[in-house]
A and B are shown apart, each in its own frame.
Chain A
Amino acid sequence: MNPSNPPQAAEYGGDEVSAIVLDPGYSTTRAGFAGEDAPKSLIPSCYGKYNADGQEKLVFGDDVFVTPRPGLSIHNPIGKDGIVEDWDMAERVWEHSFTSRLTGTKAGNPFQNGLNDVSPDELPTEMEVESEEKPLSDSPLLMTEPGWNPAKAREKTIEMAMEKWDTPAFYLARSGVLAAFASGKASALVIDIGASNISVTPIHDGMILKRGVQHSPLGGEYISSQIRAIFKINTPQPITITPHYLISSKSAVEAGQPAQAKYKTFPADKAPDASYRALLEERTLSEFKECVVQVWPGPTRLSAPSPTGVSNEDMARTTPGRPFEFPDGYNQVFGVDRFRAVESLFDAKAAIPDPDSPFPPPTPAQTIPELVKASLAGVDVDLRPHLLANVVVTGGSSLLHGFTDRLNHELMQMFPGPRVRVTAPGNTSERRFGSWIGGSILASLGTFHQMWISKKEYEEHGPNIVEKRCK
């Protein structure tokens, strides 16, 4: 086959041209080629906006974290519930995710790639038009969506892919289903702990059981707000997070002593927006979550007395603390507090009250055990034991230390009868990119060819086809 000729439309589907899998989330957007084991491109879903030389400029990708700009503000096109709010900007962010590392800004013109000896006279005259090529005109695209994505948003997505990006084939899959595929299961109960949401999705034979889909806002950002609440009431002194960009140098201090750092100040008209500071504080908090925060392993709740009669809190106090150093040099060993930050994911009463928090105190129905209960209540009784035997944990925030142990205990207590088995990949990237990996597997399957919605079908039936084909 001559590689400079485009493949025929009928041949599309992953074998010869690898499809692009795009997995947009609230915190990060993952993109990569189908068949690979990790997304090549991982960018934050938020973008920066600032004014320079009288023009509005946008910053995409990791650059946002590295160079602060005057008056830089941070926006996220995706709402707290994981549904796109700003379609124009979502398109830009997603486009950046695959053009930056995968496809390049535009597909090369075969006449200009130096491989074809074409004399200038023979060049087709419509060349100028073709140079405005759309970014995905030679890659099929598989996108993911949350299980509660409304029909309107789904139609908007295929419209964007087909008309703005010119993809030859498209498919929209539920992220829960894909996470189950990534664990090699066609039926599973997927518990996804994301940045803005936690969700429970029952899946049977690769189909989502819509009535059982549950989600609540107790995701990574909620945990961050709990950590902030802990910092406020911290002893010996409340902790404020000063991100690195506000610090010019720091020096070593003893644990618990006030920080001695030289701070940077920006003139008021140049200082980045509060949203920028919040973004970078969030980064420090995720470092804190990675290194310090721990889920009380159970089997009983943190507030409950342990079998030996000593309260669990006292038990937690006896475990050695974990040190953490803040960007300004302040450092401290965190003891029992590191368990409290996440306890409210399982026990609504354990939430640390904070009047300034954007999150209202969680209701019992929002906790993980209750979500699982509600989800199972929405599916057929016969399916429940099978689903409980195939619980799949995915999502970046599920990497909290001790999370799966606790989840296992909670589920066993709630459902003492059937066999409960929790599957959680140990590999960090498999956990963080679960739905992307499932998409990568799906799109590279030979049998998936017939599932693609081709451009022709889209043109015939309109965007509504996504409702019929991607169930």
Chain B
Amino acid sequence: MGRKCQRKSSHRGAPVRSHHSSQSSQRSLLPLVTMPPFKDEHVLLIAPGSQMTLAQLGLPETFTPARFRFPTRMFPAEKKGEYEPYRVHERRQEVKVNNDTDTPKPDVEMKDAEPAAADGTTATETTVKTDEDTQDNGDSTKTVEEVFYEEDPASDEGAIYPIENGRIVDWPCFFALLTHIHNTLSPPFHTPIMLIGQPVWSARDREAITQFVFEKFKAPAFSLMDSALAACYGYGTPTATVVDVGKGKVDVTAVTDFAVNEHGRGIALEGCGGDAMTDRLVELLGPKGFTREMCEQLKRSNITEILPPETPLPGSSATARQGANPAAAASTEGDNGDEEEGVLDVAAIVSGNPTEYLANVEKEKTTTKKGAVDPKGARLPNSKKEKASFQFEEFVQLEGEKAAANGARQYIRQTRDIEVSVERFLLTSPRSKVGNRLTSGILEDIATQVHHTILAVPDATKRSELWDSLIVVGCGSKVKGFTQALLAVITQKFILSPSGTIFTSEIPSNFTTPFRPVPTHQLLWVNPARCTTPRHLE
């Protein structure tokens, strides 16, 4: 589950306005766009991403993470061109039909159909009767086959992801997703919609979205704001370099005086996002029997960390790199015993009491932690430990009798501890198989792009300010140490502290030399807020 939401607003010297004033600056945008004043609680905000789409109805009093997180995916419905938010299974079951009574049959699936309060799940069940024409049989009861359609919130089988690397690749699906979000939040009639746009969207894309929003939602007002600009408003800073680390891509944008510099902007750099880090882990750990899902969870776990460049790895780095330690390999094979933690009905988690569920999870966590603590290395910080373990969690679908008993798909949640060696620190190291790049790792690629983007800003006097304030957002940057490591790479490749002779003894000419950044990174912000709502079922 996500880390605690923390907003670092107390950096010294950082011109962070108070939450309130930033908030009001955000609000004051709206009257510019539209004539009638809209109420705060009516504003609908949607921020689509390749993996998650954040949405919120109404502006909260203070900065909070978005209330709703929709996976950016839809499933093709039975009818071509239509989409469902969840995977729908078709299940045929023999049901005894009693013709004598007209009372409705007890619906086995009723409990699933409870409206979900917490995350807006609308679990609707369709029960289709077949073989109706055989009912004229005189028997009071007979067996007919019925088709049940049931939603399976945990499955992503057959899902269509309409956004890839920020680009909208499947328009009907993307529009269906917007419609689903709009329906779920069901805003009142006078709702202005603000969409946070991906930098990679072309002018035509923006036109198409605008047209769709006005025609389909009949919104009284619509605004499409660039995500980098939105990040700047979020931090209340007019000038900043925004690095948005997404799933498959990174965007680097120089914003000066609340204006996005389109020229030289790093748009959707591929192979630099969170997936690239997972790919690297798969490459390192794949031979040891790690699946991609394990690597993904390892990446998100708190034992994974990006160390600043040239930090020695714990243990001898030579042996660590080889990673041929047979003991380590054996321990990763999952001999810790699969703990069955009871049968969980997934739908019950979604629709049931989330606090209870979370409490349960917490309890489980603490119990497993006790077992996993390594007495020797307990006091060492993670970056000094050669080995550490994380809890891997997976849902396995129950098969056989148990599953058939009440019809609904059921999952068993299994957790186990997996021990990982120093590979967990190497997730930004260059991949050996990628022949197309000559750089050493994604951090260097991002750093080079930051340099390129800042150099492309025509107003040279703004450049040092851009070096000074760097905003790193996006879930990909959540890995521990990401920002610090990125900063270290930028510093050692591009930034030097000014050497004494130049800036003290020489009086600069009437034209200042603006390119030279003064490395006072007081304005460094990392935004964990984009990804901090509890992830029930990711």
Contacts and interface: CB of A to CB of B under 8 A. Distances in A.
A291 B176 contact: no
B501 to A, nearest CB: 4
Interface in B483-502: 492-494, 496-497, 499-502
Contacts of A290: 460, 515
Nearest to B450: A66
A248 B309 CA distance: 11
B218 to A, nearest CB: 13
A448 to B, nearest CB: 21
A41 B80 CA distance: 37
Contacts of B172: 112-114
Contacts of B503: 323
Contact of B436 (A62, A69, A264, A291): A69
A292 B511 CA distance: 9
B205 A104 contact: yes
Interface stretch (B18-26, B132-140, B207-215): B207-215
B458 A429 contact: yes
Contacts of A112: 171-172
B448 A108 contact: no
Interface in A367-403: 401
Contacts of A107: 204
B206 to A, nearest CB: 10
Q: Most chain-B Cβ atoms within 10 A of its Cβ — which of A52, A101, A272? A: A101
Contact of B514 (A53, A250, A291): A291
Nearest to B502: A323
Contact of A67 (B203, B445, B501, B507): B445
Contacts of A115: 175, 211-212, 215-216
B203 A331 contact: no
Contact of A254 (B211, B448, B501, B516): B501
Interface residues of B, number: 58
Given A66-B452, A101-B203, A320-B509, A255 B501 contact: yes
A348 interface: no
Interface stretch (B110-118, B224-232, B262-270, B368-376): B262-270
Contact of A248 (B265, B440, B449, B500): B440
B78 to A, nearest CB: 13
A188 B204 CA distance: 36
Contacts of B263: 42
Contact of A244 (B81, B265, B438, B494): B494
B205 A254 contact: no
Q: Most chain-A Cβ atoms within 10 A of its Cβ — which of B172, B436, B452, B507? A: B436
A108 B514 contact: no
A320 B435 contact: no
A465 to B, nearest CB: 29
A69 B506 contact: no
B171 A120 contact: no
Contacts of B176: 114
A374 to B, nearest CB: 32
B455 A287 contact: yes
A319 B456 CA distance: 29
B451 interface: yes
Contact of A291 (B438, B500, B513): B513
Contacts of A67: 269, 436-439, 445, 448
B202 interface: yes
A252 B171 contact: no
Q: Most chain-B Cβ atoms within 10 A of its Cβ — which of A41, A65, A103, A107? A: A65
Secondary structure of the A contact surface, majority rule = mixed
A62 B264 contact: yes
B459 interface: yes
B311 to A, nearest CB: 14
A193 to B, nearest CB: 16
A240 interface: no
Contact of A120 (B80, B174, B455, B516): B80
A330 to B, nearest CB: 11
Nearest to A120: B80
Nearest to A3: B211
A333 B506 contact: yes
A283 interface: yes
A329 B496 contact: yes
A140 to B, nearest CB: 15
B287 interface: no
A68 B438 contact: yes
A323 B493 contact: no
A108 B204 contact: yes
A204 interface: no
Contacts of A250: 492-493, 496
Nearest to B201: A104
Contact of A100 (B202, B438, B458): B202
A350 interface: no
A298 interface: no
Contact of B493 (A42, A247, A270): A247
B259 to A, nearest CB: 11
A68 to B, nearest CB: 4
Nearest to B309: A249
Given A68-B438, A320-B508, A283 B455 contact: yes
11 contacts: A52-B436, A65-B448, A70-B435, A102-B204, A108-B171, A244-B451, A250-B492, A254-B499, A283-B455, A287-B455, A333-B501
Interface of A: 3, 33, 38, 40-42, 50, 52-53, 57, 62-63, 65-70, 99-104, 107-108, 112-115, 120, 244-245, 247-255, 264, 266, 270, 272, 283, 287, 290-292, 319-325, 329, 331, 333, 401, 428-429, 432
Given A69-B438, A428-B458, 16 more contacts: A52-B436, A66-B269, A67-B437, A101-B203, A244-B494, A245-B438, A248-B492, A249-B492, A253-B499, A255-B501, A290-B460, A290-B515, A323-B503, A331-B502, A333-B506, A432-B458
Which 9 pairs between the two chains have the least Cβ-Cβ distance?
A: A114-B175, A249-B492, A428-B458, A323-B502, A42-B263, A68-B438, A104-B202, A255-B501, A114-B172
